[in-house]
Chain A
Amino acid sequence: MRLHTIILGLCSASAIAFGAHAESITIATVNNGDMVRMQKLTDDFTAKNPDIQLQWVTLEENVLRERVTTDIATKGGQYDVMTIGTYEVPIWAKQDWLLPLDNLGDTYDAGDIIPAIAGGLSLDGKLYAAPFYGESSFVMYRKDLMDKAGLTMPEAPTWEFIADAARKMTDRASDINGICLRGKAGWGENIAFLTAMANSFGARWFDENWQPQFDQPEWKNALQFYIDLMKDAGPQGASSNGFNENLALFQQGKCGMWIDATVAASFVSNPTDSTVADKVGYALAPDTGLGKRGNWLWAWSLAIPAGTQKAEAAQKFVAWATSKEYLELVASKEGWANVPPGTRTSLYENPEYQQAAPFAKMTLDSINSADPTHPTVKPVPYVGVQFVAIPEFQGLGTTVGQLFSAALAGQSSVDDALAGAQTAAVREMTRAGYIK
């Protein structure tokens, strides 16, 4: 009895200490620049909502993915707001693990969210996560090297042009590689790039009956094209290059072109880090004339787990962090160039932003040309441009990534890599019950 009294007393004491009505919500987020900036600006939110307190758990991308996935799958209930990507949202929404975001306030203007992004975060027309930051991929190229090769980059190049330009720009003697592309094995590494690229060649991971498609000619064309191109015009050691390695190469002036995330534009054009900052041009990701471009779509988004007790406070926070007003707040404090990109159409119509970010239009066009629900030429049973939104994809994608990186390193042929990928995919999909 006495113990209960003491505990009760302690509880009420702490309740008084933290304010009589304060409700505290825990937010799990990723440690990239835009998110860290948001944490610094939360005074604005707490000033508007004095009864809500914010607790932050900031983690590196892979750790975050692991923590929040384990938490939501085991109904741990540690977090009230989770930062998740476009890969997780469709899977979790299907399991009824997320609250639909239908109460974000009258001024929120959900119609302003870029349609391609909203499509990737919705299930059956209901929005399950609000985008905080969005990106696609595009071509970054060196204008000076392009001139030297006697070529002009069109706004929407074809793969044929890219390959031709890459071979012409390559100058092994002065250590300039025509093109730098991802080669390190992994579902978020080379597979992200290659899946998006294969889309533009008309390839798909699975047909409508979840039958893997690596034995089809489209994949062979795409992979052969990639390997040949990298052999002729790629950097040495490409099979272990990911985003950061290619970024370093490009910044040091060793790449003629680089196809990767749109967010890289702000790094390569930043004169303090990049030796080629004033020479970078941008173009849409290439196509082969089949109607799809080889660019991906990703959005870090805020979602609310279905088990939370504090749904109302959590929705208020999500609405604040992904609102138009938040973008203006960042602009007023840190300048338009530092606003989280890729979520709202109105941002790209803002002349001040267009001036601060010369790559703004290309980013928007890239995002708009990706469609997560119809990623490739032929119909598919899955959601996702550079991934397949099923739980099995991370493991399967990494296996296939290993096989493709072996082909890039010259340790196996393209045919062997594709045959291996087909076997692995059939095995995994049969086990998971997709193939009956």
Chain B
Amino acid sequence: MATRQTRTLARFMMVPSVILLLVWMVVPLAMTLWFSFQNYNLLNPANVSFGGLFNYRFFYTDPAFFQSIWNTLVIVVGVLLITVIGGIALALLLDQPIFGQGIVRILVISPFFVMPPVAALVWKNMLMHPGYGVFADIARFVGLRPIDWFAQYPLFSIILIVAWQWLPFATLILLTSLQSLDGEQKEAAEMDGAGALSRFVYLTLPHMARAITVVILIQSIFLLGIYAEILVTTNGGPGYASTNLPFLIYRTALLGYDVGGASAGGIIAVVLANIVAFFLMRAVGKNLDK
């Protein structure tokens, strides 16, 4: 039983870690805010002045700004759809007792250990290249014209690559949740005459809801910041078709060592991420409180 004293004590004990966390978070954020109001280019140190909101105005009047926000959201939603649906399907398959189960599981999980730029390069040059990629060979084999993935569907190609990387993560989390489903419940449902579909919809899916929420939340955090895959494949092109917010910040500010502009872009990204997180938590976060 927690008495008032022990609760006070507990709070007291938490103080150091809370302070550390705050310092860790607040100091960089405050510095970023401060820099975002400065005209400050690292390569031109003689010319530092207070710029007010100029950096923000410059950033959001960029012709690529709104498209990049849209692209960021499309990437997040697209990858989430593929990984959650594909993850559930894979987890259901892997949950079956099959020969060589352990090896199959490791194989399924392995894409997660490939570094993003490496994965992107492999996809770009060995799979999707319209000249010598595997997809092009398949297309030619069945008599079709090879698709020039990065020119015709740049954003979709990137979603595909990122989804391939994150699918194992979703599968892994969902598989563990499936394995915790009580076998007796399944049997009981079966004896009551529930078909495979209704067992899935009324038993398995509700059981996995919490794991799905975790997958969505964790992935969204990382997917908002996708960057390496874009850099090595399309460099944000053609046009602004595959420019997302992190890449826009990189291009407008970091490439030119523009500290002020990059900070302003960073703050805008933080605000956006919070908006997304807010809606996400409202939509799916309730599952976690149960």
Q: Which residues of A contact B (CB under 8 A)?
A: 69-70, 73-74, 91, 95, 175, 184-187, 189, 235-240, 245, 248-249, 252, 254, 391-396, 398-399, 401-403, 405-412, 420, 423-424, 427, 431-433
CA distance A184 to B253 in the complex (A): 20
Most chain A beta carbons < 10 A, residue from B150, B237, B241, B256: B237
Q: List 26 A-B contacts (CB under 8 A).
A: A70-B257, A73-B42, A95-B45, A185-B234, A185-B235, A185-B236, A185-B237, A189-B235, A235-B130, A236-B136, A240-B124, A240-B150, A240-B234, A391-B43, A391-B257, A393-B256, A395-B252, A395-B255, A398-B251, A398-B255, A401-B235, A405-B234, A405-B235, A406-B240, A410-B151, A423-B63
Given contacts A95-B45, A409-B151, 14 further A-B contacts (CB under 8 A): A73-B42, A73-B43, A175-B131, A237-B130, A240-B233, A391-B43, A391-B44, A395-B255, A396-B256, A398-B235, A403-B239, A406-B238, A411-B238, A411-B239
With a CB–CB cut-off of 8 A, which chain A residues contact B63?
A: 420, 423-424
Question: Which parts of B196-246 form the interface with A (CB within 8 Å)?
Answer: 233-241, 243
Contact A398 B236 (CB under 8 A): yes
> Of A70, A187, A254, A433, which is within 8 A of B131 by CB?
A254
CB closest residue in chain B, given A189: B235
CA distance A405 to B129 in the complex (A): 16
B42 → A minimal CB distance (Å):
4
CA distance A433 to B58 in the complex (A): 13
Q: How large is the interface on B (under 10, 10 to 19, 20 to 34, 35 or more residues)?
A: 35 or more
> Of B44, B238, B252, which is within 8 A of A185 by CB?
B238
Most chain A beta carbons < 10 A, residue from B136, B149, B150, B152: B150
Contact A252 B132 (CB under 8 A): yes
Contact A73 B45 (CB under 8 A): yes
With a CB–CB cut-off of 8 A, which chain B residues contact A405?
A: 234-235, 237-239
CA distance A293 to B7 in the complex (A): 79
With a CB–CB cut-off of 8 A, which chain A residues contact B47?
A: 433
Beta-carbon contacts of B55-96 to A below 8 Å, as 1s and 0s? Answer: 000100111100000000000000000000000000000000
Contact A69 B129 (CB under 8 A): no
Is B116 interfacial (CB 8 A cutoff)? no
Contact A235 B42 (CB under 8 A): no
Is B287 interfacial (CB 8 A cutoff)? no
B245 → A minimal CB distance (Å):
15
Most chain B beta carbons < 10 A, residue from A175, A401, A411, A433: A411
CA distance A407 to B238 in the complex (A): 8
CA distance A409 to B157 in the complex (A): 15
If the complex has contacts A69-B257, A237-B148, are A402 and B237 also in contact, measured as CB distance less than 8 A? yes
B244 → A minimal CB distance (Å):
13
With a CB–CB cut-off of 8 A, which chain B residues contact A185?
A: 234-238
